[in-house]
Amino acid sequence: MSFLKDAVAIFKKRELPLVEQYKESDDVYTFLFEKEEDMTWEAGQHGLFTITHKKIKDNTRPFTVASAPSENVVRITSRIGENPSEFKKALLELKPGMKLKIAGPVGSFYVTDNLPALLVAGGIGITPFRSILKQMEADGTLADRQIELLYMDSEKSYVFKEELDALAANFPINVLYLESRDALNEKINKYADLHLNTSNYFIAGPKSMVDSITADLKNKNISRGNIKKDAFYGYGKQI
């Protein structure tokens, strides 16, 4: 059923007018687009975004939708360094009213049950978790969930930190900010040893990080069905 929904969604393309763009930190930018009333998705999914205002090579890229379906905008947040790709240069050129196309959103990186959940974010991999947590808040289910978020960023920029701290202050979720893989692995191991297969594990970040943590969890006999992955390509040096 999920595959069928994705197949339908990927062929439905929409134009999204830009509302505004702004910096989250030195090299992280957020772009807010108008959302049509009938547009929806599962919190945590990604869309395929296409540059339309100029011709560039590789004009379509996947981005997680960092806004929750309950919000009235489509938000994407991306790290854009000193030597960005043509696509990201084109993103920075967008002015209010200019448009991107989106196909989707699609993907299986979303919550489907009420099990406790460990959310592991590496750098810009925090984006799907913002969507997931904000949607739970809107649905009124966050107070009933057992959630731990481990957010690692060696640059300590911690995008969305104010929002995450506000959620942690008002709901029984635990947010830990970490600066190293060693610290991250230690926390994951402690959590996995305690919960084993009574919890789900969501991992989002650079592919090398996602693959490594997934392998470690499988070595602990965590079931493949309890592990969900969202690998971000091209960010290996960012965390």
- Over range 169-175, report the average pLDDT: 95
Q: Examine the pLDDT at 230 and tell me if it is beyond 90.
A: yes
Tally Cβ neighbours within 10 Å of residue 44: 28
> Tokens 């920075």 identify what position?
92
> Does residue 13 surpass a pLDDT of 60?
yes
pLDDT at res. 95: 97
> What pLDDT does residue 1 have?
44
If pLDDT is split at 50, 70 and 90, which confidence band does 2 have?
Answer: low
Residue closest to 71 by CA, chosen among 139, 172, 23:
139
Give the three-state DSSP class for 176. Answer: strand
Q: Which of 40, 23, 150 is nearest to 104 (CA)?
A: 40
pLDDT given at position 223: 97
Strand 99-106 relative to strand 13-25: parallel, antiparallel, unpaired? antiparallel
Does 5 score more than 70 pLDDT?
no
Domain limits, the chain:
2-106, 117-232
| pLDDT tens, residue by residue, 68-90 | 999 999 999 999 988 999 999 99
List all residues 6 or more positions away from 230 whose beta carbon is below 8 Å from its beta carbon. Answer: 44, 46, 64, 107, 109, 125, 128, 202, 203, 204, 205, 210
CA distance 88 to 81: 9
Which of these, 124, 116, 86, 82, lies nearest to 231 by C-alpha position?
Answer: 124
Q: What percent of the chain has pLDDT over 90?
A: 87
CATH number (2.40.50.100, 1.10.3720.10, 3.40.630.10, 2.40.30.10) of 2-106 reads 2.40.30.10
Give the least confident one: 156-170, 192-206, 221-235: 221-235
Instruction: Kindly report the average pLDDT of the chain as a whole number.
Output: 92
The alpha carbon of 6 is separated from its chain's Cα centroid by a whole number of angstroms, namely: 18
Amino acid 26: pLDDT? 86
- For residue 50, is pLDDT > 50? yes
Question: Average pLDDT for residues 95-109, to the nearest whole number?
Answer: 95
Q: Can you say whether residue 208 is alpha, beta or left, with left for phi > 0 and alpha for psi between -120 and 50 degrees?
A: alpha
Q: Which CATH number fits domain 117-232: 3.40.50.80, 2.60.40.420, 3.40.50.300, 3.50.50.100?
A: 3.40.50.80
